[in-house]
Amino acid sequence: MAKSSKISGFYKLSVHERLKVLQEQAELSDEDIEVLSNTGALTLEQADRMIENVVGTTEYPLGVACNFLIDGKEYLVPMAIEEPSVVAAASNMAKIARVKGGFFTSASEPVMIGQIQITDVSDPFFARQAILARKKEIIDLANEQDPVLVKFGGGARDITARVIDSIVGPMVVVHLMVDCRDAMGANAVNTMVEACKPLVEEISGGKVYLRIITNLAKFRVARARAVFDKKTVGGEDAVEGVIKVYALALADPYRCSTHNKGIMNGIDAVTIATCNDFRAVEAGAHSYAAMNGDYKPLTKWEKNKDGDLVGSIELPLAVGTVGGATSVHPVAKVARKILDVKSASELARVMAAVGLAQNLAALRAIATEGIQRGHMGLHARNIAQMAGATGEMIDKVVEVLVKEKNVRVDRAKEVLEELRG
């Protein structure tokens, strides 16, 4: 337990001063402080400008998924993730997809939605129409806030308005649709809807409280589809198995949650590698999956007339290639170079393809040999290291654990002792 968590002026200190205070308060060793001070490619100074109260950085392994052929273009896909098997699984499925031409993708325009909530309106239906009638004024005011976005071809495009019943009475909710081009768009959209508050209050006669972007970015979706040759994917039974496993996700939210989690393993990893907002991507994906009332899979799996497995995915992907941390983090910048994407929309399409590949890898493993076989070797490596194995001892311990199908730290410790004699 920290001696005290009430540290006045912590935010005003330099990183080194903060580390001193932290060492004292959390009783850290000099080695602990050295671990925190070793920040990798992102310097302490850069990190300190990104968030508050910085005392270090944390690193994820960065892998590169291979074999991705998307719309005829070759992609190497950087993925930052701590979970074993994910990068290998994506690469394997991308390899299978190549047999039938790889992935084919499309995307909507990069349009995000900003919400404005008008409360305390005596005549909400009348107010709704009054707002819609003055749509041009609202859009012009929004666009005045971001001339740069407008110059690059983006900006506020349209509005809608709904009357919603709530526990505090009816309210009018205005949606401002903003084309964010290559930016994720939260800053642009939030600035616009905040600026619209006085005008919207004047028109409606109500009071505006909430004005902020929604992560349910249903107008900013990316899609990917691919045909997976039945023989290469594992034969008729594997195709059948994938569809049956998918059928459960369609019918059952408990399974659907894990089904979508597997998709997000891939999508999050690319989101993090490019330093995009993975919380926004997650929120968007799961709310989209539940948009019609029931929580549904983000992918669809079918069999075509040749008996091949065909998969498709569609989800909102609010990611950017300009602005925010994507343009600051040195590793994210290199990750973008590796990806060689020219726009946020292209990045989103690649991510959708990765999500589809990741999903198939999981479904195929579950439907055939089970998920543990592939996981076991890599999991055993982590366990062996946790037990204290280093260098070539790691492989030796792993071999025994996998053979015994007993991947536990206590057993790894015993094996290590035996091996050390």
Q: Which residues are catalytic?
A: 83, 261, 277, 375
Q: Per CB under 6 A, does 364 bind ligand MEV?
A: no
Q: Tell the smallest beta-carbon distance from residue 359 to ligand MEV (Å).
A: 7
Determine contact, residues 331/296, Cβ cutoff 8 Å.
Answer: no
CB burial of 147-166 (b: ≥16 within 10 Å; e: otherwise) equals eebbeeebbbeebebeeeee
Q: Per CB under 6 A, does 259 bind ligand MEV?
A: yes
Q: Which stretch binds ligand MEV (CB under 6 A): 105-113, 202-210, 257-265, 407-415?
A: 257-265
Q: Please pick, from the candidates 206, 262, 355, 374, the single residue that binds ligand MEV as defined by CB under 6 A.
A: 262
| CA angle (175 as vertex; 121, 135 as ends), nearest 5 | 80
Residues 284, 316: Cα–Cα separation, whole Å:
6
Q: Residue 212: what residue type?
A: I
Q: If you search the block for the tokens 């290590």, which residue do you land on?
A: 416
Residues 176-235 that bind ligand MEV (CB under 6 A): none
CB of 38 or CB of 258, closer to ligand MEV: 258
Residues 368-387 that bind ligand MEV (CB under 6 A): 371
Number of residues that bind ligand MEV (CB under 6 A): 9
CB of 159 or CB of 356, closer to ligand MEV: 356
Q: Are strands 155-164 and 171-179 parallel, antiparallel or unpaired?
A: antiparallel
Residues 222, 350: Cα–Cα separation, whole Å:
9
| CA distance readout (Å), 339 to 68, 118, 137, 185, 344 | 11, 43, 40, 21, 12
CB-based contacts of 31: which residues, under 8 Å, 6+ apart? none
What residue is closest to ligand MEV based on CB?
Answer: 262
Q: Binding marks (x or -) toward ligand MEV, 306..345, rule CB under 6 A?
A: ----------------------------------------
Residues 78-97 that bind ligand MEV (CB under 6 A): 83
Look up residue 345 and give its two tokens.
């929309």
CB of 97 or CB of 362, closer to ligand MEV: 362
Determine contact, residues 340/75, Cβ cutoff 8 Å.
Answer: yes
Q: Which stretch binds ligand MEV (CB under 6 A): 44-52, 171-179, 188-196, 260-268?
A: 260-268
Q: Tell the smallest beta-carbon distance from residue 375 to ligand MEV (Å).
A: 8
Q: Tell the smallest beta-carbon distance from residue 262 to ligand MEV (Å).
A: 3
CB of 207 or CB of 261, closer to ligand MEV: 261
Query: Shortest CA distance to 338 belongs to which of 277, 265, 270, 280?
Result: 270
Q: Per CB under 6 A, does 261 bind ligand MEV?
A: yes
| CA angle (177 as vertex; 174, 182 as ends), nearest 5 | 150
Q: Per CB under 6 A, does 258 bind ligand MEV?
A: yes
CB of 18 or CB of 381, closer to ligand MEV: 381
Residues making contact with ligand MEV (CB under 6 A): 83, 258-259, 261-262, 265, 362, 366, 371
